[in-house]
Structure 1
Amino acid sequence: LWLVHLVRERLTAAGAPAGAVQLVTGDAEAGRALTTHPGVAAVSFTGSAAVGHRIARDAAPRKVVLELGSNAALVVAADADLDAAADAVARGGYYASGQACIAVQRVIAVAEIAADLERRIAERLPGIVVGDPREEDTRVAALIDEAATERVLTWIDQARAAGARLVAGGTRVGRCVAPTLLAEVPDGQPAWDEEIFGPVVALRTVPDLDAAYDLVNAGRYGLHAAVFTRGLDAAFRALDALDVGGVVINEVPGYRSDVAPYGGVKDSGLGREGPRFAIEELTVTRMAMIRP
């Protein structure tokens, strides 16, 4: 509401009509009316895959730009700087309490360094401040509601029952979920397969980089993925092999820049954001021919 107010002030000051920006609030019924109205030329949506798929069906044949869910992977090669990789997991996996579509959720480590990496990540977790989100140092606070909290804790318990090892966390801290690290979560578990949207990171071990890239691609999401390596060969292999919208080398998958296209493939969405790319997505290319 405040952002729209500020934009309208700027528009008016520039001599443009304030009505160029509109805001409608409401529930699913309001959203359905907007996304299906014949006067709407395009729909841009950020949210869950299930809702995005419904909007794409309902809005047809209008253009849709979908930025949907993810379970972003961070691959660690044998030659990686392990301290940098562990710092990235601690920084990129738990910010905003993990409630970000490109937060680190899956860490895939080559076997020869996996145990060392796990130890380094675990050593960093006690330094993640849990508490009041109004405090500047807080990294993990209460999730959006109690239902989300119970779901995250249930997924952790299900993963453990299926054979995953709890390295740290997995409990409540007041109304918050403690920063959690799981190891060897098997396929078929939502803590690995789905978007957990909470302060939980799952670590898996693979024999080599090819297996790591295959594991990234095996999931239904494909927004951003990160690779930590000192080798340009491994980096360029990732650019070719990973079926995602963005590949980030030696930084968190949550890296974004407005000069770069942002968006996913598969169930992570359709189309690209970023000012230039959003303009292109929402522009109709018209062919014109004049015969003299």
Structure 2
Amino acid sequence: MIKKQLFINGEWVEAKKHTPLLSPYTGEVIANVPDATMEEVEFAIEAAYQARNTMAEMPIHQRATILEKLANLLENRAEEAAILISKESAKPLKDAKGEIARTVQTYKFSAEEAKRINGETIPMDAAPGGEGRLAYTVNMPLGVIGAITPFNFPMNLVAHKVGPAIAAGNTVVLKPASQTPLSAYFLAELMQEAGLPPGGLNVITGSGSVVGGKLVTDNRVKKISFTGSPEVGIGIRNKANLKPVTLELGSNAAVIIDKDVNIEKIIPRCVTGAFSSQGQVCISLQRIYVHKDCYDTFVEKFVTATKNLKVGDPLNLQTDVSALIHRKEVDRALSWIEEAKQKGAKIAIGGTSEGSILHPTVLLEVEKSAKVSCQEVFAPIVLINKVESVEEAIDLVNDSRYGLQAGIYTENIHTAMYASKKLYVGGVLVNDIPTFRVDHMPYGGVKESGIGREGVKYAMKDMTELKLVIFNNN
């Protein structure tokens, strides 16, 4: 049995308490994981706080080299890392391999962006009284970054916080999701091997109220970067006072299918968007609004493609859909499907479970007030509704508490431009699903989908402070 330790100040520290970590797929115990006490969280924060000057004063080329080494180490151990993700999260192995490839890129982007931290000169004599003065800005690291991450991308979403933080000269206290701590401890091993100074990264596992609560309220922690549910994110913002926060929260992402689109071509992409990682993706395709002229064809082909998905063991490379993260999530999802049925929805396929696996489910004619439509379903469930026009579809997409990303498939450039203007979301994907992200693009949402942007360059901006320097040469 694997027994993990806390990673604090560059050392593996025996925890006072441990809890068993269960496989979402088999239910078997796969490790015993530290359940940190308040004293241990305090130790981690202090270690990061004491190391902040070391990281801030480290030459940029050294930070970049550490991140480059980290990327290379992870790439060399990609198979091992992917299996680890599959075991602790039940993510299908082929999806886990894709996540590792992206994680390597995220750390490479971080190494590159470390070398691009720069300020600007300010023409002081553009204003009367500014003559004879030289001014410039510099970007200063904030200090200790508190990173709180979810289970669904346990390597790459951690990288989106740790990579930019280290690149910008900060230290990190990382609290990974309780179900996926092994990936974070694996990162700590690699970061240690890459040469990060003690205290640069500290990994603490335990309850959100103990670890997360302390990170949010402790004055030594200068910023919180959180990915998770809107309810928890709103609570963090309310408790953080003036501490800056980046919140990547939920969504019920939608795509619009205009008439005259090549349906055959886009079906595989839409099915992937709806069901990859069991739909446990913030930008998972949850709502599809199809023009009436092609609705029947789209539904028929989408259902046929869904039937061909392979369900089963996440460690089987042929598996497309495996277990949800907890059995209770299956029960919740089934209750949401039943509620939609009570409101008139029809099940085209799925709607059943097998152990912790919810079979891919397609719902038709779903009332917009149903939970599977207006809340974040975070399960392999997608609705397909008929619309009279793109305008109607845009109104339906915008009629949501969320606004992370949305997509539209259309052959009309004017329709594409109109939609890109009218869709109230953080990102509009033209001729693609909303379930698209590469790791250097600005990523984030509006409304209850969050505050701030990730994507290495954009995250680094929020992990530094702007300082103005003025020389009076008069």
Is the structural similarity TM-score above 0.5? yes
Q: Secondary structure at the match of 2:293?
A: helix
Is 1:93 matched up with 2:274?
Answer: yes
Q: Could you state the TM-score of these two structures normalised by the residue count of structure 2?
A: 0.59
1:134 aligns with 315
More strand by share: 2
Structure label with greater radius of gyration: 2
2:333 aligns with 152
2:231 aligns with 50
> Cα offset for 1:173?
3.0
2:205 aligns with 25
Instruction: Give, as a single letter, the amino acid of the residue that structure 2 aligns with 1:228.
Output: Y
> Cα offset for 1:246?
1.0
1:176 aligns with 357
User: Is this contact kept in 2: 1:76–1:85, CA < 8 A?
Assistant: no
Alpha-carbon separation, structure 2, partners of 1:89 and 1:125: 10
Alpha-carbon separation, structure 2, partners of 1:179 and 1:188: 21
2:302 aligns with 121
Alpha-carbon separation, structure 2, partners of 1:8 and 1:35: 26
1:222 aligns with 403
> Cα offset for 1:290?
4.1
Is 1:197 matched up with 2:378?
Answer: yes
Q: Secondary structure at the match of 1:260?
A: coil
Instruction: Give, as a single letter, the amino acid of the residue that structure 2 aligns with 1:210.
Output: E
Alpha-carbon separation, structure 1, partners of 2:468 and 2:386: 52
1:283 aligns with 464
1:11-56: per-residue Cα shift (whole Å, max 9, x none)? Answer: x1xxx51321121211122110011111111100000000000001
> Cα offset for 1:79?
2.1
Alpha-carbon separation, structure 1, partners of 2:247 and 2:459: 11
Alpha-carbon separation, structure 2, partners of 1:241 and 1:284: 33
2:187 aligns with 3
Alpha-carbon separation, structure 1, partners of 2:265 and 2:286: 17
Alpha-carbon separation, structure 2, partners of 1:164 and 1:232: 33
User: Is this contact kept in 2: 1:72–1:104, CA < 8 A?
Assistant: yes
Alpha-carbon separation, structure 2, partners of 1:286 and 1:125: 54
User: Is this contact kept in 2: 1:97–1:141, CA < 8 A?
Assistant: yes
Q: Secondary structure at the match of 1:234?
A: helix
Instruction: Give, as a single letter, the amino acid of the residue that structure 2 aligns with 1:212.
Output: A
> Cα offset for 1:114?
1.2
User: Is this contact kept in 1: 2:327–2:355, CA < 8 A?
Assistant: no
User: Is this contact kept in 2: 1:178–1:199, CA < 8 A?
Assistant: yes
**Partner of residue 283 from structure 2, selected from 91, 102, 108:** 102
User: Is this contact kept in 2: 1:81–1:229, CA < 8 A?
Assistant: no
RMSD value over aligned CA atoms? 1.3
Q: Secondary structure at the match of 2:319?
A: coil
Is 1:111 matched up with 2:295?
Answer: no
Alpha-carbon separation, structure 2, partners of 1:136 and 1:228: 30
> Cα offset for 1:160?
0.4
> Cα offset for 1:263?
0.8
Instruction: Give, as a single letter, the amino acid of the residue that structure 1 aligns with 2:449.
Output: S
> Cα offset for 1:78?
0.6
Alpha-carbon separation, structure 1, partners of 2:296 and 2:197: 60
Alpha-carbon separation, structure 2, partners of 1:290 and 1:36: 37
User: Across the two proteins, how many residue pairs are aligned to each other?
Assistant: 288
Instruction: Give, as a single letter, the amino acid of the residue that structure 1 aligns with 2:188.
Output: V
Alpha-carbon separation, structure 2, partners of 1:8 and 1:45: 24
The unaligned stretches of length 5 or more in structure 2 are: 1-184
Q: Could you state the TM-score of these two structures normalised by the residue count of structure 1?
A: 0.95
Q: Secondary structure at the match of 2:260?
A: coil
> Cα offset for 1:260?
1.1
Alpha-carbon separation, structure 2, partners of 1:231 and 1:8: 52
1:162-184: per-residue Cα shift (whole Å, max 9, x none)? Answer: 11111111011343111100011
1:248 aligns with 429
Instruction: Give, as a single letter, the amino acid of the residue that structure 1 aligns with 2:303.
Output: A
> Cα offset for 1:203?
1.0
Is 1:238 matched up with 2:419?
Answer: yes
1:48-105: per-residue Cα shift (whole Å, max 9, x none)? Answer: 0000000011112100000001111011011222123322221110011111111110
Q: Secondary structure at the match of 2:441?
A: coil
1:63 aligns with 244
Instruction: Give, as a single letter, the amino acid of the residue that structure 2 aligns with 1:22.
Output: N
Alpha-carbon separation, structure 1, partners of 2:292 and 2:384: 11
Where has structure 1 moved over 3 Å in runs of 4 or more?
A: 287-292
Q: Secondary structure at the match of 1:83?
A: helix
Instruction: Give, as a single letter, the amino acid of the residue that structure 1 aligns with 2:201.
Output: V
Instruction: Give, as a single letter, the amino acid of the residue that structure 2 aligns with 1:100.
Output: V
